[in-house]
Amino acid sequence: MSDWVLGVIGGSGLYDIPGLNGVWRAIESPWGQASDQIFDGELDGQRVVFLPRHGRGHAIAPSDINGRANIDVLKRAGVTDVLSISAVGSLKAELPPGHFVVVDQYIDRTFARAKSFFGKGLVAHVSVAHPTCPRLRALAGEAARRIGAQVTEGGTYVVMEGPQFSTLAESQLYRSWGCSVIGMTNMPEAKLAREAELPYASICMVTDYDCWNEGHGAVEVSAIIEVMHANSAKAKHLVAELARAIKTIPRTPSPIDTCLDFAVITEPEARDLELVKKLSAIAGRVLN
């Protein structure tokens, strides 16, 4: 078994991974209920921990996803690195439906979600200037190309609150900002993964052109689902390919593994002990 433990957060259309042999098991979190149990198993001899972001059956809307619990249970399961797989709309003509984008930046437009494990009684500030892990991005991009996906490496994902899709004015605004794709789920997930010292990368699967492209009309769920099924089949092969790749590569330390070293501001005597306890998995390394 390699030093990697790959956590996979599956988005819309990805609720299982064929070939992953293991069991569903529940992990309790002090941050509340995760989206589902985790599926803890092996894929070609590589340990992989899978969590469906919306739950099996897709019962959880984007704004109701408990990102803190999801990241906490992955950390408690021993995950070392997190791959997010997400369905998105395209904001660029050169990123058509069916295309994969390995994003490297985000603009967070969400407003109704808990965005940090830290807060009153225990303040910490981590840098998310570069919110995704370059090593994991590169490995995921290579895996996507090997399974025959059309891939663009690099791009900005604007994260909207949802659950409604964009207005035309919003879509045009985000295009003017130079954003590549739009979705509803990678924030605050990426920020929370950074606070948990988990390297994070995101494979975004384009399902539509949002509503800016008049030649394709407004976003319709039926059309999205059709593309999403094809994308999900590729994504499952991508996870298997990535698992095979990392199994052969020693996992060397990443700067993200220790990003909390200088992030906690609150002096020990002023810390909320209940919050310290809740942070046992996320920040126990620096708080104990």
Query: Model confidence over 166-194: pLDDT tens digits?
Result: 999 999 999 999 999 999 999 999 999 99
C-beta of residue 127 within 8 angstroms of C-beta of residue 191? no
- Give the pLDDT of residue 110: 98
- Give the pLDDT of residue 47: 98
Q: Domain-by-domain residue ranges, the chain?
A: 87-287
Query: Model confidence over 66-80: pLDDT tens digits?
Result: 999 999 999 999 999
Q: Residues annotated in the binding site for substrate, as ranges?
A: 184, 208-210
Q: Quick one: tokens of 184?
A: 């509803």
When pLDDT is cut at 50, 70 and 90, the band that residue 14 belongs to is confident
Supply the angle between the helices 67-76 and 280-287 in degrees, to the nearest 10: 60
The whole-number average pLDDT for the span 4-14 is: 90
Report the percent of the chain where pLDDT is more than 90: 88
Catalytic center residues = 208, 210
**Predicted model pTM:** 0.95
The whole-number average pLDDT for the span 28-45 is: 97
- Give the pLDDT of residue 227: 78
- Ordered DSSP codes for 150-196: -EEE--EEEE---SS---HHHHHHHHHTT--EEESSSTTHHHHHHHT
| 71 CB-near residues (< 8 Å, 6+ apart) | 82, 189, 192, 193, 195, 196, 198, 282
- Give the pLDDT of residue 151: 97
Phi, psi of 3, deg, nearest 5: -75, -15
Q: Residues annotated in the binding site, as ranges?
A: 12, 53-54, 86-87, 184-185, 208-210
Positive or negative CA dihedral for 97, 11, 203, 48? negative
The whole-number average pLDDT for the span 90-119 is: 97
When pLDDT is cut at 50, 70 and 90, the band that residue 1 belongs to is low
Query: Is 87-287 assigned to CATH 3.40.50.1580?
Result: yes
Helix (H) or strand (E) holding 21: strand 21-25
Query: Model confidence over 116-161: pLDDT tens digits?
Result: 999 999 999 999 999 999 999 999 999 999 999 999 999 999 999 9
Alpha helix stretches (DSSP H) within the chain: 67-76, 134-146, 168-176, 189-195, 221-247, 273-278, 280-287
How far apart (Å, rounded) are the C-alpha atoms in residues 64 and 87?
A: 17
When pLDDT is cut at 50, 70 and 90, the band that residue 222 belongs to is low
CB-based burial label for 233 (10 Å; 0-12, 13-18, 19+): middle
